[in-house]
Amino acid sequence: MFIDIPSELEAALTDRSLPPWELDGSFLAQSTMERYRTELMATSRFEETAGILRHALTGEGGGYAVLRLGNLSKALGAGDRFRRLATAFAAEVAVPFSPFPRWPLWKDIGVKVDKDPGRSSGIGYNAFHMDLVNATRPPDYTTLLCVRPDPLGGGPSILSDAHAAVARLSEDSRALLAELAYHYGTFFDLFGVGEEYKPFPILDGSDPGEGFIRFTAKMLERSELGQAHTDAARELAEELVRGQVSFMLQPGDYLIVNQRRFLHGREALHSGQETVPVSDRRLLLQLFLRAPAGDGSAA
């Protein structure tokens, strides 16, 4: 699931400067997507690389990919030129958008030592979850672009095949997970993700191997659930950990996760984060994607 950029494509992209993007509401404008695609299709092996990326995300056995853009980030830095290229790759998968009107298209995820350790910007273990779990139309893809890894060496990304984990559960547990019994988090000031879903089922009734697995391990500690439903969700959490893969994102690595197949999280950052200057701490950029209507990944 790691995709290297061919050297001739890297060379072509290093010399190319895409125009600033435009938004249509909270979504990347269709005109921008067409402009980016037209310009990059003219570069050697872009279409081939984009096809490999799409297959890794939606093909049999797939569900996530890491696009290795490190050489481009070294050549271009992590500013606008590089982010436009990453946006163009993302637009080959689905439509980039921001569900948070108070944030730009790309949202910074830094490190704050005084935050809840289990949150994305915290320093502790960020347990398996899907983003915007309590929305009726969660993003089809969540993506993370690594600007800086933890300089102390912590914080590996973790991913797990949610459908494979569910398949290992008992029928009784699956029946409980399909009930409208779960809730987590708040819901306000959001665009493009439907309405609040509360309570929601963890299993949405789709055929086995399809649909969202609406799960966040944080609900086990922060939501009032009946014992039977808690036990079923805890069993799923254990199976997710049992099947997890783990890797360190390097500068320029672009992780894209199909939320209909995989859940994601992060191991704890290394101790001593308070000694690291804020400007040197781990920094990721997050972007969400909505699959077009009629696409197999669309909500």
Burial (Cβ within 10 Å: 0-12, 13-18, ≥19) of residue 60: exposed
> How many domains is the chain partitioned into structurally?
1
Q: How far is CA 48 from the centre of its chain?
A: 23
Q: Are strands 64-68 and 2-4 parallel, antiparallel or unpaired?
A: parallel
Q: Within a domain: residue 226?
A: yes
Closest CA to 258 of 4, 2, 57, 33: 57
Residues of the chain with pLDDT under 70: 294-299
Whole-number Å distance between alpha carbons of 297 and 260 = 7
Residue 298 lies in a domain: no
Beta-carbon contacts of residue 237 (< 8 Å; ≥ 6 apart): 127, 128, 215, 217, 220
Domain assignment present for 90:
yes
Q: What is the distance between the alpha carbons of residues 88 and 96, in angstroms, rounded to a whole number?
A: 9
Alpha carbon distance 234, 133 (integer Å): 17
- Which pLDDT score, from 0 to 100, does residue 224 have? 86
Q: How far apart are CA 137 and CA 127, in angstroms?
A: 22
In the block, tokens 């039977």 appear at: 228
DSSP structural state of residue 179 = S
Q: What is the pLDDT of residues 66-107, one digit of tens each?
A: 999 999 999 999 999 999 999 999 999 999 999 998 889 999
Residues in the chain: 299
- Domain boundaries, position 222: 2-290
296 lies in some domain = no
Reading the block at residue 203, the tokens are 């299993």
The CA-atom distances, in angstroms, between 14 and each of 40, 119, 202 are 12, 35, 43
- pLDDT for 2 equals 97
Residue 131 domain flag = yes
- Evaluate whether residue 295 is within a structural domain: no
pLDDT value at residue 299: 39
Pair of tokens at residue 31: 């005109």
**Stretch (H or E) spanning 171:** helix 171-177
Where residue 107 sits, what CATH number does that domain have?
3.60.130.10
Is there a contact between 204 and 177 (Cβ–Cβ < 8 Å)?
Answer: no
Q: Is residue 228 part of a domain?
A: yes
pTM for the structure as a whole:
0.96
203 contacts: CB under 8 Å, gap ≥ 6 = 166, 174, 177, 178, 211, 213, 214
Question: In sequence order, which residues have a C-beta less than 8 Å from that of residue 251 and are 6 or more positions away?
Answer: 70, 73, 74, 146, 147, 148, 149
Residue 87: inside a domain: yes
